[in-house]
Amino acid sequence: MKTIIKYKKLEFKIDLSQPLDISIPMTGDISNVNAWYVNPPRIEPHTEHGFTGSVKAGASTNFNDIWFNPHAHGTHTECIGHITTKFHSVNDALNRYFFLAEVVTIAPGKLGEDFVISRQQLKNAIKSTNLDALVIRTLPNTREKFSKQYSNSNPPYLVEEAVEFLVGLGIDHLLVDLPSVDKEKDDGALRGHKAFWNFKGDLRKEATITEFIFVPNEVEDGVYFLNIQMAPFVNDASPSRPVLYKIEKA
């Protein structure tokens, strides 16, 4: 199922039968990854007027209700509406779904009591130009990322200068395996988010940030064709499923 792709001025081949899913699924219980001090997500049969939406309980169909917060409970893609008083929907912001992306692996460095991703680390890691997206895998990279409880853990984040560097490179879509590009407790400064969306200038309304990804260790650093699949929620953020495809010469 190999397909020739013409993208911008490039032409290359990808195998659509070999997707590399870099999302974290939502389980609907305490084992689910979590952040921002909220309860675990819930996936449970709808109940009303004696009806229970479960085949096991005698219903004709399974009919579940799902309670979750996209920012706290798994892979999600967000837009500038995450930090603005005016409403902006990620469903409008993400109007293309395929991008040229580079995967880089970085071990966050120590800065005071924090672990951070610096401008210099990104400069050293990124090998390509004319990218639309950057996918950051942090070390250590273990399966714990599928179930880690991040609240009050001060996870690694990107310093403001690092995000500004990415904007300068023309990166419109940033994907990280962290709960946020910003420090967990920063008194609402949100320097990374604001830098990425150019909060004090011409807003980058079509730029997106995807958080809580997981890039398996067998996925090598390098350039890939990226497909960001996203549920069409009219909200600042929505659950998403980014998928990578290896690139071959056409």
Chain-centroid distance of CA 240 in Å reads 7
43 forms bridges with which residues in the sheet?
Answer: 66
pLDDT band at 100 (very low <50, low <70, confident <90, very high): very high
Q: What is the spatial distance between Cα 103 and Cα 244, in angstroms, rounded to a whole number?
A: 9
pLDDT band at 193 (very low <50, low <70, confident <90, very high): very high
Q: For the chain, which domains are there?
A: 2-25+72-249 (3.50.30.50)
186-210 average pLDDT score = 97
195-203 average pLDDT score = 96
Q: Retrieve residue 99's tokens.
A: 């991008």
Which of 123, 185, 146, 107 has its CA nearest to residue 24? 146
pLDDT for 1 equals 73
Neighbours of 165 (CB within 10 A): 20
CB–CB of 42/246 below 8 Å?
no
pLDDT for 154 equals 98
Diameter of the chain measured on Cα atoms: 61
Residue that has been written with the tokens 């714990």 in this structure: 144
pLDDT for 13 equals 96
Model pLDDT for residues 29-72, shown as the tens digit of each residue: 999 999 999 999 999 999 999 999 999 999 999 999 999 999 99
Residue that has been written with the tokens 């390509």 in this structure: 128
98 forms bridges with which residues in the sheet?
Answer: 227
134-138 average pLDDT score = 98
Cα–Cα–Cα angle for 85, 65, 51, rounded to 5 degrees = 140
Could you give the C-alpha distances from 183 to 83, 164, 199, in angstroms and in order? 15, 16, 17
| Residue 9 in this model has a pLDDT that exceeds 90 | no
pLDDT band at 249 (very low <50, low <70, confident <90, very high): confident
* Strand duo 173-176 + 133-138: pairing: parallel
Neighbours of 241 (CB within 10 A): 20
Could you give the C-alpha distances from 213 to 21, 35, 82, 103, 120, in angstroms and in order? 9, 14, 18, 12, 23
Region of 6 on the Ramachandran plot (φ > 0 left; ψ -120 to 50 alpha; else beta): beta
pLDDT band at 112 (very low <50, low <70, confident <90, very high): very high
* Strand duo 237-249 + 20-21: pairing: antiparallel
